Chain A
Amino acid sequence: MFSVSPEVYSVLSVASRWIFAFFALMLLAFALIWHHAERKERKERFKNLPGAGTVGELIVLSGSDQLAEGTWFPVPREGVLGSLRSCDLVIPCPGVSSQHLDFSWQDGSGLMIRPRVGCEALIDGVPVTRRIGMQDKPLLHGSVLQVGTAALRLQLYAALSHTNRTFTPPVPFQGPEAGFGAPQAQPPVQVPAAAVQPWPVQPPMPPMPQEPLQYVETIQYTPEPVQAEPESMQPAPQQPAPARPRRSRTDRWKEDWSE
């Protein structure tokens, strides 16, 4: 096919190699710009979707000094719960080890829990086994997870198919007054015992040993006379109620979905 003379080719060959190097530099720059632009766009999308990648949230029912009651954590599909800062869910409570348990979401089942060696966890008061292949009870919407001294309630976003309660189909009201505006028959809700009483019943305190009464020297307490306060004292200012954690619109719709 078409070819050029050797003189023309020698010039073309040298020039083309410099052009190739320039194009390669441009390609490198374009690739880096492309990556940077898409990364920025992805960050913006994540900023607009704060709940992206999570299946629900864990609400602290009882925690510790470092973990206030009412704190909530978004729950990713998979991760590790522990007291270490590198964990996906950080629970700084006594009794929670550095990497306490692994959790993973399984569609159609719920949030599966697998404690690490030597760690214990309870779901609605039932201890979770660690053996592989065992079908443990998963965490469902409303279930309470106990790790160490912390108790956490799971609130799922897609709770309609993973609820802790069993619903029966609604029965139409058959009464003679049935009509527009008449009260509708409410479907009976079967609530399992775990849902009614998510907290494990504390074992009764052991009876105090009956010891023979001994004579104890008592000190007579004589109250000092209380002076009447002057009426001109200003009433003490009322303490403002503690501010509730502010929740964004996205969180509100998640709650609606979960209900």
Chain B
Amino acid sequence: MSKTKSSPRLRFTGAAILLSALLFLVPALKDGNDTLYLLALLVPCGMLLAGTVLARVFSLDRLILNVSLWICAVGIAAFAFTDPQAALAHALNCGAGMVVLLVGGILIRSMTDSLLTSVCTAFLGILLLAGKALSPALSIPVTGAALALLLIAFTSLLSRQGPISAAFTGLAALALLLFIGETQEALLWGITLTLLLFAADGRLIIVLPSLAAVLLVFFGAYRLFPGMSVAPSASSLNTLVSAGAIGADTLPEGIAAAENIPLFHRLTGHFGLLFAGLTALLFLPLTLRGTSVAVTARTRFHSSLAMGICLLLALRTFFGLLCAFEVIPFSGPDLPLLTSSLPDLWSQLFLIGMLCGISGRNDADLADDAHLAMLAR
């Protein structure tokens, strides 16, 4: 009998499902908690369903989807040792986020870089940021959703109207972000904006003024609001290192004492630096795949949008890790998908859904070409 070699997709999916079950079974054996047993059943089944059936039905990119599902499962498991009910709530949030991901994947197939798209998304994005600026008591984090909308508007303007109008929209969003005190988001947005401008229109006459404008806005904001550089949080490098290579059942004192523990720190405390670092490294294939999707996209809008999504996710991961290990003096953004904030999680899943949708559209276009070539032969 000939031995058939399993595909990398099958291996990845199998290993991810098995590991996600083990992540909940081991803490469940400690206390015999019903919720954790339920999660050990629900999370792998959900991953299997979304990674195979939904990806097949909606023609989503399986690699991006499976990696995203795995990171979501790790985020749920970060709560498993200390708070099973919070883990269940986070699992339900991720499940609802899958619907948001599907909406993004379906929406992007019919979305074009029309003026209507640009105006609507730019208006909604700036409205969200302006609402936060006008009512600082608003505790809902709307920045993620606003950035997702503004990214669509920016790339749409960039591909249809040209770089100047896109740069003005981006700079307006940057100024608003700095005004409401979202320094890290503004930094990420400014870098993404400049790199996208460079990718779409590499003329120095466009890129250099944009770069100068971004630096000027940052300098002005720093002069106006000198306290915008945030001190490192309690969970710093020393506390992360104290978790050790493989972690422990209880969180180290520095991490447990922090009020709002980021999921990455919680993950490091429970499962160790090794596991958390390898999980963060999974953003590398995600970014590589997204870049590949951007390169093969047929329209400039989809290409710019896919590249913008990749840049936002990669930069957020990079800055999150730098801040977690005290390389730069900010409290740092959460890693993508490893966040306990529901709007942020949904907005990131929406962006990933759009990336999956662009990839599915590329595949459909290529299949059409192959069909035409077959007819010609």
The chain A residues found within 8 Å of chain B, CB to CB, are 1-4, 9, 12-14, 16-21, 23-28, 30-35, 37-39, 42, 45-46, 48-49, 51-53, 76-79, 86, 98-99, 132, 250, 253-254, 256-257
- How many residues of B are counted as interface, with CB atoms below 8 angstroms from the partner's CB atoms? 56
* A25, A26, A30 — most chain B CB neighbours (10 Å): A30
Contact B285 A24 (CB under 8 A): no
The chain B residues found within 8 Å of chain A, CB to CB, are 7-9, 11-12, 15-16, 18-19, 22-23, 26, 28-34, 37, 63, 67, 70, 159, 161, 201-203, 245-247, 249, 271-272, 274-275, 278-279, 281-282, 284-285, 288-289, 292, 296, 298-300, 365-366, 369-370, 373, 376-377
Asked, given contacts A3-B31, A24-B279, A34-B8, whether A12 binds B15 with beta carbons under 8 Å apart, the answer is no
Please name all residues of chain B whose beta carbon is closer than 8 Å to the beta carbon of A48 when the two chains form the complex.
370, 373
For A2, the closest partner residue in chain B by CB is: B32
* A3, A21, A77 — most chain B CB neighbours (10 Å): A21
For B300, the closest partner residue in chain A by CB is: A78
Contact B12 A31 (CB under 8 A): yes
Q: How far is the CA of A99 from the CA of B162 in the complex (A)?
A: 12
Contact A49 B8 (CB under 8 A): no
Please name all residues of chain A whose beta carbon is closer than 8 Å to the beta carbon of B298 when the two chains form the complex.
53, 76-78
Please name all residues of chain B whose beta carbon is closer than 8 Å to the beta carbon of A79 when the two chains form the complex.
300
Q: How far is the CA of A257 from the CA of B272 in the complex (A)?
A: 62
Please name all residues of chain B whose beta carbon is closer than 8 Å to the beta carbon of A20 when the two chains form the complex.
19, 22-23, 271, 275
Could you list 21 examples of A-B contacts with CB < 8 Å?
A1-B28, A1-B32, A1-B33, A3-B28, A3-B29, A3-B32, A14-B246, A17-B272, A19-B22, A21-B246, A21-B275, A24-B279, A27-B16, A34-B63, A38-B63, A49-B366, A49-B370, A77-B299, A78-B298, A132-B161, A256-B376
Q: How far is the CA of A76 from the CA of B296 in the complex (A)?
A: 12
* A19, A24, A42 — most chain B CB neighbours (10 Å): A24
Contact B12 A30 (CB under 8 A): yes
Q: How far is the CA of A78 from the CA of B11 in the complex (A)?
A: 38
Please name all residues of chain A whose beta carbon is closer than 8 Å to the beta carbon of B161 when the two chains form the complex.
132
Helix, strand, loop or mixed for chain B's interface?
helix
Please name all residues of chain B whose beta carbon is closer than 8 Å to the beta carbon of A12 when the two chains form the complex.
26, 29
For A54, the closest partner residue in chain B by CB is: B369
For B367, the closest partner residue in chain A by CB is: A45
Q: How far is the CA of A174 from the CA of B201 in the complex (A)?
A: 61
Q: How far is the CA of A104 from the CA of B37 in the complex (A)?
A: 55
Contact B22 A16 (CB under 8 A): yes
Asked, given contacts A27-B70, A52-B366, whether A17 binds B12 with beta carbons under 8 Å apart, the answer is no
| Given A13-B30, A51-B369, A99-B201, 7 additional A-B pairs, CB 8 A | A20-B19, A20-B271, A21-B278, A27-B278, A34-B9, A37-B8, A45-B366
Contact B16 A257 (CB under 8 A): no
For A79, the closest partner residue in chain B by CB is: B300
Contact A23 B15 (CB under 8 A): yes
Please name all residues of chain A whose beta carbon is closer than 8 Å to the beta carbon of B16 when the two chains form the complex.
27
Number of residue pairs spanning A and B whose beta carbons lie under 8 angstroms apart: 135
Contact A257 B376 (CB under 8 A): yes
Helix, strand, loop or mixed for chain A's interface?
helix
Contact A24 B19 (CB under 8 A): yes
Contact A27 B37 (CB under 8 A): no
Contact B366 A3 (CB under 8 A): no
Q: How far is the CA of A77 from the CA of B11 in the complex (A)?
A: 37
Q: How far is the CA of A207 from the CA of B238 in the complex (A)?
A: 90
CB distance from A8 to the nearest CB of B (A): 8
Please name all residues of chain A whose beta carbon is closer than 8 Å to the beta carbon of B245 when the two chains form the complex.
21
Q: How far is the CA of A2 from the CA of B36 in the complex (A)?
A: 11
Q: How far is the CA of A37 from the CA of B7 in the complex (A)?
A: 9
Asked, given contacts A20-B22, A33-B8, A77-B298, whether A9 binds B30 with beta carbons under 8 Å apart, the answer is yes
Contact A17 B369 (CB under 8 A): no
For B33, the closest partner residue in chain A by CB is: A1
CB distance from B287 to the nearest CB of A (A): 10
Give the contacting residue for B15; candidates A9, A30, A254; CB below 8 A: A30
For A23, the closest partner residue in chain B by CB is: B19
Contact B246 A250 (CB under 8 A): no
Q: How far is the CA of A77 from the CA of B159 in the complex (A)?
A: 13
CB distance from A140 to the nearest CB of B (A): 20
CB distance from B232 to the nearest CB of A (A): 27
CB distance from A130 to the nearest CB of B (A): 11
CB distance from A23 to the nearest CB of B (A): 4
Asked, given contacts A13-B249, A16-B26, whether A28 binds B373 with beta carbons under 8 Å apart, the answer is no
CB distance from A208 to the nearest CB of B (A): 45
Please name all residues of chain B whose beta carbon is closer than 8 Å to the beta carbon of A132 when the two chains form the complex.
161
Q: How far is the CA of A4 from the CA of B67 in the complex (A)?
A: 32
Give the contacting residue for A45; candidates B67, B285, B370; CB below 8 A: B370
